[in-house]
Amino acid sequence: MDIVFLLFDRFTALDAIGPYEVLSRLPGAKVRFVAAEPGVIRTDNGFLGVQADGRRDDVERCDILVVPGGKGTRALEADPATLEWIRKVHATTKWTVSVCTGSMILAAAGLLEGKEATTHWSRLEELAEHGATPTQARYVFAGDRLAIAAGVSAGIDLGLALVARIAGEDLARGIQLGVEYDPQPPFDGGSVDKTPAPVLAMVRAALAAGA
């Protein structure tokens, strides 16, 4: 099972590392982190660097392609070389996966046209500009080979659901137990609908300032 994670400047760490912790436990998994050029790729806050060992354009095919989100997605949505590479590799995959605003890259590449899709709540309605149908679902399987997660932490949920589809529910449950993924958040406020107005306004302002 050849699994490729696309890294880029200012990606969100958990978008990649969440599904990595799940998918890397598939039997026979081989995981590669690639970028436009090999080296340390900094996350959206600049604090963390993740090593990309491979060059993106050297990858012509894989079983699973994972595209994370983050502030850096806006540049890639308008980058013809990245979009063409995604289209080329997607044609070979068993599953093409996005987390958070990674779906905006897939949408810009034309992969989500006419399909139900999700992304981070702050950009959800923008999916319609690329012909997709936005949904507030935590994750969605869009057609036979597309798996799309909403914001950041949703990538863990999608990873487990994808393992269940690939290798069965027992293995997915075993992985869930192995990583002790038993969410018990201190606040019931992980969505727009559950968040008090002042907190929502604060987060919107922070997102706008950091865009």
DSSP string, the chain: -EEEEE--TTB-HHHHHHHHHHHTTSTT-EEEEEESSSEEEEBTTSS-EEEE-EEGGG----SEEEE--STTHHHHTT-HHHHHHHHHHHTT-SEEEEETTHHHHHHHTTSSTTSEE---GGGGGGGGGGT-EE---SEEE-SSSEEEE-STTHHHHHHHHHHHHHH-HHHHHHHHHHTT-----SSS-SSGGGS-HHHHHHHHHHHHHH-
CA distance 121 to 191: 8
What is the domain-level CATH number for residue 97? 3.40.50.880
Q: Which active-site residues does the annotation give?
A: 100
CA distance 160 to 175: 8
Domain assignment of residue 75, yes or no: yes
Q: Whole-model pTM?
A: 0.96
The CA distances from residue 159 to 23, 105, 139, 183, 184, in Å, are 6, 19, 10, 15, 19
Domain that holds residue 133: 2-185
Domain assignment of residue 20, yes or no: yes
Domain assignment of residue 193, yes or no: no
- Report how many domains make up the chain: 1
How buried is residue 4: exposed, middle or buried, by Cβ count under 10 Å (0-12/13-18/19+)?
A: buried
Domain assignment of residue 41, yes or no: yes
Domain assignment of residue 200, yes or no: no
| Sign of the dihedral defined by the CA atoms of residues 73, 75, 77, 83, in that order | negative
Domain assignment of residue 201, yes or no: no
- So what's the pLDDT on residue 144? 85
Domain assignment of residue 205, yes or no: no
Can you give the pLDDT of all 211 residues of the chain as single tens digits? 999 999 999 999 999 999 999 999 999 999 999 999 999 999 999 999 999 999 999 999 999 999 999 999 999 999 999 999 999 999 999 999 999 999 999 999 999 999 999 999 999 999 999 999 999 999 999 988 999 999 999 999 999 999 999 999 999 999 999 999 999 999 999 999 999 999 999 999 999 988 6
Domain assignment of residue 26, yes or no: yes
